Amino acid sequence: MGLGERTMNKHNADKQSGIGHAYRSVGAYLALGIQLVATILLCVFAGHWADGKFDSAPVLTLIGGLLGIAAGFYHFFRAVLKMDGKSKEDA
Length in residues, the chain: 91
Tell me, yes or no, whether 31 lies in a domain. yes
Helices 59-90 & 3-54 angle (0-180, nearest 10): 150
Domain count for the chain: 1
**Count of C-beta atoms within a 10 Å radius of residue 51:** 18
Model confidence over 5-55: pLDDT tens digits? 555 555 555 556 778 888 887 888 889 999 999 999 999 999 999 999 999
pLDDT greater than 90 at residue 84: no
Q: Is residue 68 part of a domain?
A: yes
**Has residue 70 been placed in a domain?**
yes
Burial, 66: exposed, middle or buried (Cβ in 10 Å; 0-12, 13-18, 19+)? Answer: middle
In a domain, 75, yes or no: yes
Let me know if residue 19 belongs to a domain: no
Query: pTM for the full model?
Result: 0.71
Model confidence at 91, pLDDT cuts 50, 70, 90, reads low
The answer to the question of residue 16 being in a domain is: no
In a domain, 12, yes or no: no
Range of the domain at 43: 27-90
